[in-house]
Copies of this chain bind each other. A is one copy, B any other.
Amino acid sequence: MRPRTRRGGGRPTISDVARLAGVGAITVSRALREPERVSESLRGQIERAVTELGYVPDPNARALASARAEVFGVLVPSLTNSVFAEVVRGIYDSLSDGPFRVQLGNTHYSGLEEERLLQVFLSQRPAALIVSGIDQTKTARSLLEKADCPVVQIMETGPDPIDMMVGFSHFDGGREATANMITAGYRRIGFLGARMDPRSQRRLAGYRAAMEAAGLYDPRLVNTTPVPSSVSLGRDLFRDALAKVPTLDAVFCNNDDLALGVLFECHRASIEVPQQIGITGFNDLDMMQVAFPSVTSVTTHRYEIGCQAVAMACAAIAGERPEQRVVDLGFDLKLRESTARR
């Protein structure tokens, strides 16, 4: 109950450190933020005082005084989708060394929720913003354009970035995955898609482009649903597709969960993979190469996207805006047993 200060829990403040080190408060502040601007001797004294008192700067006071919080705002559409979980992990890992904290928001694939969260995040004056996708609402886009901090759009590349971009082309991924199955000899290739967010739509467009180029496109081959993706949904979509088009000889799945559902259903119904049905997934989760038969999938560099986004934002904060504002990290089509028809 020592009445050292009126409020605050009696934690040491910057002036406690300054007093102990025998310097001005502002010099302590500088020593912590720009050590090279303080002479070596003072720096030593200050460091000693900081250690002795166990001083930890108050980020709230810092943010208020400098009108800038050391926070990266990150908006993703889902926390449990392992694709975004890995992006987020890349962001956290890249940021764990520096002074920046992460403020994560879950938009639930909703543009309105994204706008709301953006408002909340912006009220903190973040150091940078990382948002998923390139299909922001008009309002969200305008908020981001007015934000006086670097903005990185991730997961996709496209024309007209708000500020910076890191991702890859979902269209190309869908097209290559489909083209590979056509080359492998499949003809009645179905598309299975869940959620159908903008990225899924572009994979579908890539699928369609490849099918049309080969003269194989048939709208009855396309099976989509707005329902969130899951393994069980993959099974269900596959059953529906097969009922609708019994001559189906392959499926390109929107993502690996669906592909896994298809694989299990094939086992259950004694459908031979890849002889009777070819399967291609998207994202290349660890399990796809372990599955039996192993499943062809499109590897996406999710962790790296997170890292690269942070790197670009940090460069921009440091005043070195990278000349390349749009970075395409590409993808790798991994050919495996599930499309190796002989």
Binding site for B on A (CB under 8 A): 7-9, 56-61, 63-64, 66-67, 69, 79-80, 82, 85-86, 88-89, 92-93, 96, 101-104, 106, 119-120, 122-125, 148, 230-232, 234-235, 257, 260-261, 264-265, 267-268, 286-287, 289-292
Contacts and interface: CB of A to CB of B under 8 A. Distances in A.
13 contacts: A8-B67, A59-B124, A60-B61, A60-B63, A82-B85, A92-B106, A93-B106, A101-B103, A104-B104, A230-B286, A231-B287, A232-B290, A265-B292
B106 A89 contact: yes
Contacts of A235: 290
Contact of A123 (B57, B63, B230, B231): B57
A231 B286 contact: yes
Contacts of A106: 89, 92-93, 96
A129 to B, nearest CB: 15
Name the prevailing secondary structure of the A interface residues. helix
A235 to B, nearest CB: 6
Contacts of A123: 56-59
A94 to B, nearest CB: 12
A79 B69 contact: no
Nearest to A257: B287
A92 to B, nearest CB: 5
Contact of A261 (B7, B86, B290): B290
Given A89-B79, A268-B292, A9 B67 contact: yes
Given A123-B59, A232-B289, A88 B92 contact: no
B120 A101 contact: yes
Contacts of A234: 290
A160 to B, nearest CB: 25
Contact of A79 (B67, B88, B290): B88
B290 A148 contact: no
Given A61-B64, A80-B82, A104-B104, A286 B92 contact: no
B7 A67 contact: yes
Contacts of A230: 286
A65 to B, nearest CB: 8
A86 B92 contact: no
Contacts of A103: 101-103
Nearest to A116: B96
Nearest to A66: B7
Contact of A124 (B60, B66, B82, B261): B60
